[in-house]
Amino acid sequence: MKYLFIVLLTFFLAVGFHSCSSDIDINAPWTDITVVYGLLNQNDSIHYIKVNKAFLGDASAYEMAAISDSVNYKNIDVYLYKINTSNGGHDTVKTYIFKDTVMDKESGTFATDNNIIYYNTEALITSSESNNIEDYTFALKIYIPQYDKNVTASTKLISKLLVSRPNSYQPTITLKGISDYSVEWTSTEGAKLYQLILGFHYYELTATDTTEHYLEYPTSTKISQTDLGGEDMKQTINGGTFFQYLASNIEANPNIKRIVKEECLDFIFFVGSTDLNTYIEVSSPSNGIVQEKPAYSNINGGIGIFSSRFNKSIAGKELDQRTIDSLAISPLTNGLNFENYANTLNFWATINVGN
């Protein structure tokens, strides 16, 4: 579900590699360049920081990128400091020590073996601090003993997201045919980047088994005009487009009957900071005649991005009767064998009795 994370990582690798090739004078004395990637989210149970080094050598860049020793440091220290800046103060209230681990990585240009990443599992915000998240700044410090070098960055967390639609007064959602459903929220301070993912739960029934399934429908990214907060924003979901997505991502099989789960819809919001939005905008390909774009980094003593993101879910919304009947008979989805509303109600009653 972490679409923003994945998209940014793609941009990060691209701009990091580009910076190494175009901004470094190959005839200049060797210089260590640290590349940092990290996004803090107080809702995450594990916090990750990726630290690599840019490289120069006699071999081709692609050959060197495939060697883990070309991109990894050895024996570095990664710290995160929580600083209370309320009332003009600058008090460090907690220090987080990050440990290193090796994570699996998909094959590609960069080395897949010894893919080192740094992590910490401690909570960024306690329950007593949750109403005053804006009082805290998180400062990253990476110490590289080999070069007696400090790399630093800092970020605020994104504190909240106010969603006005859907709400508790609207138990069912209409998404049939050409109808549109408008999801509405208010932008939050310190953020500019917003993406909604619609999660869809359903059952598959065969002659011998009943299994629950889940599919995510990503919507386009929305960008607020400012990062001051208070801006009314919305994302429109078209029923026909949603049906088409289901048809394209669920396999039609005459031997499988499908039934919508009673609380079948999850509205999942991902929010990105102003720095994150700037990084993505600067790193994306240019559509104009001038292809060269300025690099963006908020890392002191290195390059990359250290910022914040936030996620919020409104789970368990129901589709209304008209939408469930439309799923069963629409030319877009009738090949998926979704049951009509009457049969769906009967199945729900059976499931509820079993529970």
Q: Is the same domain home to 166 and 245?
A: yes
Q: What is the dihedral of CA 327, 239, 270, 313, to 10 degrees?
A: -50
Tokens of 107: 């094959």
Q: Are residues 292 and 334 in the same domain?
A: no
The closest alpha carbon to 31, from 63, 64, 55, belongs to: 55
pLDDT at residue 36, as a whole number: 96
Average pLDDT, the chain: 86
Q: Which residue has the tokens 């210089």?
A: 31
pLDDT in tens, 4-51: 444 444 434 333 333 333 344 444 456 788 999 999 999 999 999 999
Q: Residue 75 burial by CB count (10 A; 0-12/13-18/19+): exposed, middle or buried?
A: exposed
Among residues 312, 317, 289, which one has the least CA distance to residue 162? 312
In this structure, are 193 and 137 located in the same domain? no
Shared-domain flag, residues 181 and 72 = no
| Strands (DSSP E) found in the chain | 34-40, 47-53, 77-84, 91-102, 116-120, 136-144, 149-156, 162-165, 172-173, 180-186, 191-205, 210-218, 222-223, 232-238, 257-273, 302-319
Q: How many domains does the chain have?
A: 2
Are 100 and 211 contained in the same domain? no
- Does the pTM surpass 0.75? The reply is yes
For residues 203 and 339, membership in a common domain is answered with yes
- Residue 55 domain boundaries: 3-158+273-308
Q: Are residues 172 and 235 in the same domain?
A: yes
- Whole-angstrom Cα Rg for the chain: 24
Averaged over 188-197, what is the pLDDT? 97
Is 264 in the same domain as 289?
no
Kindly report the backbone phi and psi dihedral angles of residue 77, in degrees, each rounded to the nearest multiple of 5, phi listed first.
-110, 135
Tell whether 302 and 333 lie within a shared domain. Answer: no
Q: What is the per-residue pLDDT across 216-268, written as a single tens digit (0 to 9) for each?
A: 999 999 999 999 999 999 999 999 999 999 999 999 999 999 999 999 999 99
Same domain, 251 and 291: no
CA pair distance 30, 33, nearest whole angstrom? 9
pLDDT band at 105 (very low <50, low <70, confident <90, very high): low
Q: Dihedral of CA 274/279/280/285: which sign?
A: positive
Examine the domain organization and report whether 96 and 189 are in the same domain.
Answer: no
Phi-psi region of 301 (alpha: psi -120 to 50; beta: other; left: phi over 0): left
Residue 249 sits in the same domain as residue 236:
yes
User: Is the CB of residue 149 less than 8 Å from the CB of residue 32?
Assistant: yes
Phi, psi (deg, nearest 5) at residue 76: -105, 160
- Residue 99 tokens read as 């440990």
